[in-house]
Amino acid sequence: ELCSANKTWVVFQVQWSSCNIFSTQDHAAAAIAKAGIPVFAWKGETDEEYLWCIEQTLYFKDGQPLNMILDDGGDLTNLVHTKYPQLLKGIRGISEETTTGVHNLYKMKANGTLKVPAINVNDSVTKSKFDNLYGCRESLIDGIKRATDVMIAGKVAVVAGYGDVGKGCAQALRSFGARVIITEIDPINALQAAMEGYEVTTMEEACKEGNIFVTTTGCTDIVQGRHFEQMKDDAIVCNIGHFDVEVDAKWLNENAVEAVNVKPQVDRYTLRNGRHIILLAEGRLVNLGCAMGHPSFVMSNSFTNQVLAQIELWTNSDKYSVGVHFLPKKLDEAVAAAHLDKLCVKLTKLSDKQAKYLGLSRDGPFKPDHYRY
């Protein structure tokens, strides 16, 4: 693939695997393979097949190992660090897409196990404030509707987490007429939710009221057995956080009286108390398992960041020590600027007098790194 930044051309040889056992769209993978790019992925992989697919991307056909990692969730990063550490010395950098994957990078840095410079793509403004917020705002409802065709208006929807993903999900559910309840651990996010008019309470309380449950936290043990037992009949439970650890699907499989696969990625469990739970995508990402994921336009923001991060790490590797870094603000703004024409946006240009008054360049960057959008 050819990419350009600041008139520097970089040639990347690419091999792909998926970041989730349900995330691959087979027709898209087939089109990529037809173009001559190796793809090791299909929708509905087992966990063992998923790991096998990732391992196939470590070496290219000529026997050369990978020298860059573009990751989504951290599984490739973890695999190389734990199982194939001999490859680390040849890797110039990692770019990571997701909140979960970035959290993993910071944990690795803190405990001394991270051995390669990494760029946190997730916290680029044009990723987290667009993909996480606006992408989830559309793809969550798409997944729930395709899976269940449930009428959302009038329902009580419980959203676990009020970060950027949770904000988008809460907005979407409210716009369809649901009464939305938020659960949160962070007092700042909880206050934000309350100021937006949402009820904020604990899962212990919310589990008794909800008809639809959406986890968005990236953490484990959000919906557990004791919560399932108190839910209303035919409560719909799904996850859009990242891994399948937020919803305790294992408890359902071990404790339900009956499990019926209604259709692909839709399972209805009968509990001992006679009530039923409808679990979507086995507790994995509902927007990928039950729908097509985010619309391509918002993903273009994220993937532009990924490409720029890869180019930055390759061409300016001397600037990046082992650790977790951010893309320069100027590049973040460039990603946004590249998408304005598609939306017919006309951008105001600072005059020389205005730029001098603000102490800025007329061409940006327009905000300091600490600015919160």
Is 36 a known ligand-binding residue? no
Element (H, E) at 310: helix 296-315
Is 103 a known ligand-binding residue? no
Is 242 a known ligand-binding residue? yes
Is 144 a known ligand-binding residue? no
Is 261 a known ligand-binding residue? no
DSSP characters for 33-96? HHTT--EE--TT--HHHHHHHHHHTSB-TTSPBPSEEEESSSHHHHHHHHH-GGGGGG--EEEE
Q: Return all residues near 295 (Cβ < 8 A) that are at least 6 apart.
A: 135, 138, 139
Can you give the length of the chain in residues? Answer: 373
Is 6 a known ligand-binding residue? no
Is 57 a known ligand-binding residue? no
Is 127 a known ligand-binding residue? no
Is 166 a known ligand-binding residue? yes
Is 246 a known ligand-binding residue? no
> What is the distance between the alpha carbons of residues 372 and 52, in angstroms, rounded to a whole number?
40
Is 99 a known ligand-binding residue? yes
> What is the distance between the alpha carbons of residues 138 and 166, in angstroms, rounded to a whole number?
12
> What is the distance between the alpha carbons of residues 299 and 83, in angstroms, rounded to a whole number?
31
CB-based burial label for 242 (10 Å; 0-12, 13-18, 19+): buried
> What is the distance between the alpha carbons of residues 72 and 90, in angstroms, rounded to a whole number?
20
Which residue is associated with the tokens 């082992």? 322
Show the tokens assigned to 164: 């950027």
Is 74 a known ligand-binding residue? no
Which residues define the annotated binding site for NAD(+)? Answer: 98-100, 163-168, 184, 189, 240-242, 287, 294
Which residues define the annotated binding site? Answer: 98-100, 163-168, 184, 189, 240-242, 287, 294
